[in-house]
Structure 1
């Protein structure tokens, strides 16, 4: 087996296993319950492509960034997201029931949904275990293109699973409940990031 292919398979396997139980999967599922699949996948693809390149090209430099600074930035992103979700979830609880639609997945523009997905997932992946795993694989095999491709494919595979599950959920659960549930998820991630920033 060639070194390039081995690096690709190793990167894919490690990142896929790390991402399945990770916050990125939960966030993708939440994003899909709020937006259509196409913009979520588009925003995710750009975020994950950038993250894979950063992990391989600047991986060693990432470990030099102050962990508290990264955690504080993640706290702000998730804190603002939680506030907006709760505001929307508690402001109009009956509108989605009145029109018979289960979720808000079709009411947001493609651009806004893609940008929201990109920003949320890019911030969530910054300094994540899967990014560090990609750094390690790149250092071991010295095959940057294989590691970038393997990492990207693994992240998108997990994202596609979350998008599929989130789409099923959006068709069965009222939008205001999805917003409130998403607000809880974002609050938990914000509090975890705050703990990392001050601990």
Structure 2
């Protein structure tokens, strides 16, 4: 599979999975309180750290024998799809945390970084990024696709996420991402069985 195709798959899966996430909500809240460019700088840096951690995890998964790797990746995609389908819209806003004391760049960007880094750690999109990195072995395409998708969702949330959610029902977004993950799970599980 070409790097462009891997990038496209990764971007699509991560973008859809991140839309209904609490990280997007935290970005929206921070963006309404502080200068959006400062918030985005902190969010983008946090997402880069999270993607790097996911790529390392994916590299470790890739050390498994091929059939075992496909089975693990398939199982994790099924888990991700189930998490999306069972996601409740009224989850607590855990990502808000502390707000900066002033509007300086470093305080706003630093607070945004901390809030998003904590909210995103071990999140569905981080697990999906690790799975995609292990499955395709194209670390650059997966890393760039994942990071750009995460930044795109956060950017949309910061600049006007409420309007998107008014036009596209949350359950449609969640089901779309879950369907894509189930298809990827099916492909991985078939590959593990077929050898």
* TM-score normalized by the length of structure 2: 0.61
CA shift for structure 1 position 58 = 2.6
Change (3 A) 1:25 1:79: closer
Does 1:33 find its partner at 2:28? Answer: no
Contact 2:6 2:138 in 1 (8 A): yes
Distance 2:159 2:138 in 1: 32
Q: Gaps spanning 5+ residues in structure 2: where?
A: 62-93, 164-195
Partner residue, 1:156: 151
- Matched residue, 1:69: none
| TM-aligned CA deviation for residue 57 of structure 1 | 1.5
- In the alignment, structure 1 segments of 5+ residues that lack a partner are 63-77, 89-103, 169-199
Which position in structure 2 is the counterpart of 1:58?
57
Query: Whose radius of gyration is greater, 1 or 2?
Result: 1
- Distance in structure 1 (CA, Å) of the matches to 2:52 and 2:3: 16
Q: Which residue of 2 aligns with 1:44?
A: 43
RMSD between superposed Cα atoms in Å: 2.9
How far apart, CA to CA, are the structure 2 residues paired with 1:8 and 1:45? 18
- 1:16 pairs with 2:15: yes
**TM-score between both structures, scaled by the size of structure 1:** 0.59
Residue 146 of structure 1 is aligned with which of 141, 144, 149?
A: 141
Q: What residue in structure 1 maps to residue 80 of structure 2?
A: none
Is the 8 Å Cα contact of residues 15 and 130 (structure 1) preserved in structure 2?
Answer: yes
Q: CA deviation at 1:7?
A: 1.4
Q: Counterpart of 1:147 in 2: which secondary structure? A: helix
- Whole-Å Cα distance in 2 between the matches of residues 156 and 59 of structure 1? 20
Residue-by-residue CA offset, 1:92-111 (whole Å, 9 max, x unaligned): xxxxxxxxxxxx9xx51111
Which residue does 2:123 correspond to in 1?
128
Aligned pairs for 1:48-197 (under 5 A) are 48-59=47-58, 78=94, 81=97, 108-165=103-160
What displacement does 1:80 show? 8.8
Q: 1:80 to 1:157 in 2, by over 3 A?
A: closer
Cα distance change on mapping 1:57 and 1:109 into 2, 3 Å: same
Distance 1:135 1:118, change over 3 A: same
How far 1:28 sits from its partner (Å)?
Answer: 0.3
Q: Number of aligned pairs? A: 132
Deviation at 1:44, TM superposition (A): 0.8
Query: Shift of the alpha carbon at 1:32?
Result: 0.7
